[in-house]
Amino acid sequence: MGEILHDYLPVLLIGQFPNGPLGGLALTLILSVLGLALAFPLSIGLALCRTSPYRALRLPSTIVVYIVRGVPLVMLVFWSYFLVPVLVGQTVSAFTTLVVTLVIYQAAYMSEIVRAGIESLPKGQTEAARSLGLNYGLTMRSVLLPQALYNMLPSLISQFVSTIKETSIGYVISVHELTYSASQVNSAVLTKPLQVFLTLSLIYFAVCFALTRCAYAVDRRIEKRRAGVTSPVESTAHDPLLQS
Amino acid sequence: MIRFSKVNKWYGTYHALVEISQEVGKGEVVVVCGPSGSGKSTLIRTVNRLEEIQKGEITLDGTDVHDKSVDLNHFRTKVGFVFQQFNLFPHMSAVDNVCLAPIKVLGKSKVEAKDRAMALLERVGLAHKASSYPQQLSGGQQQRVAIARALAMEPPVMLFDEPTSALDPEMVGEVLNVMKSLARDGMTMMCVTHEMNFAREVANKVWFMDHGQLIETGTPEAFFSNPTSDRAKRFLSEIGSH
């Protein structure tokens, strides 16, 4: 295994770059970040539709979310692979296909996180904002979403972890991400498939484990801050009304 | 200023407000009391349309509150509302809580809004806590910030929905003091509260509710010393206030 790492680590990390296309772990991370970054605003839009009082918004968004969540990722890849070229009228790169797939898939899942984040806030927050004359949009933007997104941070990091793992589906349409690079290494070495794929697993694990720990740490921080809400700091010493 | 005429509200088949007709005059302080579940909070929440009504009419300064064509967001800037649970925005400092609506809704400049917010925090005795976050404040302090936040819109009317019920006893006084000073300055106020001493001291009228009905209204002296209805007598003896 040391030998494989020694000879092929650059391929696993960055693919053929700089002599060929960027690939390996670097491409995997780019795909994940891009997928999540594009899916994020979309997921907020979906979540707002899902929590909307208007049926005309709620119904279609709910259907989309349920369909995407009820279909295996590889199906979505095939659909994008064959459907997107038809829709845009020209060939589309495998990279774009995968990004489109990941964005749709992640948006559906993340919209549920966002929706839960909004719905778990106390109703009094909305009432207080609306009582001050803030309209729906301002209430969302200034009061509800900042709190919901903050509370959701750990879930969002977890979602990033799953996205990293899901990019491996790019293998089936020959996107040169980490899994694809590993299989190329395997073809070159030929005799050590177990070692190659063990290395592959370890790389995925190292990245995902680090991020999971990070999510846990953020979660702890938020818990601590929340705990502060239930036991307010006593600070009445300089309080003129109490002294009067 | 606030006129209820034949207001009715149902939750499903439950008749929450029954034929309420009464008026709050300009500069008047009305304390609404009654046993829990009597509809007092529901009543006060209908005034800024946090609750809808099914029958009757509520007008505030001539505006029909429940008319569908009313610009609700604009209307609500004219009614300050203080909640039992404070409902401060936990991701903002005290001063930002107070500034938010003046900046976003009234379009005031940040500097102007902040100056005004500081003056209001000063008024509720919390200028030194301007940069504290709600979770760093005691309940009483949070409620005073909430009052300052409502006052920042310069509403001609303030509604208080059990503002001291969620507070530890030693913090009730500081919030009541702020409310008393508001009342003395001529603010039109409607307060749902169990603080009968507050009612005695500053209220012009006491409204007594039970089972969604407005049973009795009168001056605090008359209500406390000589309640006319049996239910009010029973209520007063239960809370041990006369």
Neighbours of B45 (CB within 10 A): 20
pLDDT digit string, tens, across residues B94-143: 999 999 999 999 999 999 999 999 999 999 999 999 999 999 999 999 99
Helix or strand holding residue A10 (H, E)? helix A2-14
Q: Supply the pLDDT for residue A240.
A: 45
Alpha-carbon gap: B42 to the closest alpha carbon of chain A (Å): 14
A72 touches chain B (CB under 8 A): no
Chain A positions in Cβ-Cβ contact with residue B129 (cut-off 8 Å): 235
B236 pLDDT higher than 50: yes
Instruction: For residue B85, name the pLDDT band (cuts at 50, 70, 90).
Output: very high
- Distance from C-alpha of B43 to C-alpha of B212, rounded to nearest angstrom: 9
- Rounded (5°) CA angle B126-B128-B133: 80
The predicted model gives B149-176 an average pLDDT of: 96
Contact B135 A225 (CB under 8 A): yes
DSSP A119-165: HTS-HHHHHHHHHTT--HHHIIIIIIHHHHHHHHHHHHHHHHHHHHH
The closest of B48, B18, B50 to B34, measured between CA atoms, is: B18
Q: Supply the pLDDT for residue A237.
A: 41
Residue of B nearest to A128 (CA): B87
Candidates B83, B84, B104: best to mutate against A (most CBs of A within 10 A) is: B104
A235 touches chain B (CB under 8 A): yes
Q: What is the four-CA torsion angle of B239, B214, A127, A47, rounded to 10 degrees?
A: 120
Cβ–Cβ under 8 Å, residues B162 and B143:
no
Neighbours of B241 (CB within 10 A): 15
The closest of B92, B101, B156, B150 to B121, measured between CA atoms, is: B150
Contact B88 A128 (CB under 8 A): yes
**Nearest CB to B90 within list A134, A138, A229:** A229
Neighbours of B59 (CB within 10 A): 16
Contact B177 A241 (CB under 8 A): yes
B101: alpha, beta or left? (left if phi > 0; alpha if psi -120 to 50): alpha
Q: Supply the pLDDT for residue A230.
A: 43
- Distance from C-alpha of B35 to C-alpha of B213, rounded to nearest angstrom: 12
Q: Supply the pLDDT for residue A228.
A: 61
pLDDT digit string, tens, across residues B169-205: 999 999 999 999 999 999 999 999 999 999 999 999 9
Peptide bond into B102 cis (omega under 30): no
What does pLDDT average to in each consecutive run of 10 residues of chain A (244 residues)? 83 88 94 96 96 94 96 94 92 94 96 95 97 96 95 91 95 94 92 93 95 90 70 42 42
A236 touches chain B (CB under 8 A): yes
- Distance from C-alpha of A4 to C-alpha of A185, rounded to nearest angstrom: 9
Q: Which residue has the tokens 């790169």?
A: A93
pLDDT digit string, tens, across residues B202-229: 999 999 999 999 999 999 999 999 999 9
B186: alpha, beta or left? (left if phi > 0; alpha if psi -120 to 50): left
| Secondary-structure breakdown of chain A: helix, strand, coil percentages, each rounded to the nearest 5 | 80, 0, 20
For chain B, strand residue ranges (E) read 2-11, 14-24, 29-33, 55-60, 63-64, 79-82, 157-161, 188-192, 205-210, 213-218
B230 pLDDT higher than 90: yes
Q: Which amino acid is at A160?
A: F
- Distance from C-alpha of A178 to C-alpha of A197, rounded to nearest angstrom: 11
Q: In this structure, what token pair is assigned to residue B232?
A: 């009010």
A233 touches chain B (CB under 8 A): yes
Residue B218 CA neighbour count, 13 Å, CB half: 13
B31 pLDDT higher than 60: yes
Q: Supply the pLDDT for residue A16.
A: 86
What does each C-alpha distance from A37 to A27, A70, B100, B139 come to in angstroms?
15, 23, 29, 39
Whether this model's ipTM surpasses 0.85 comes out as yes
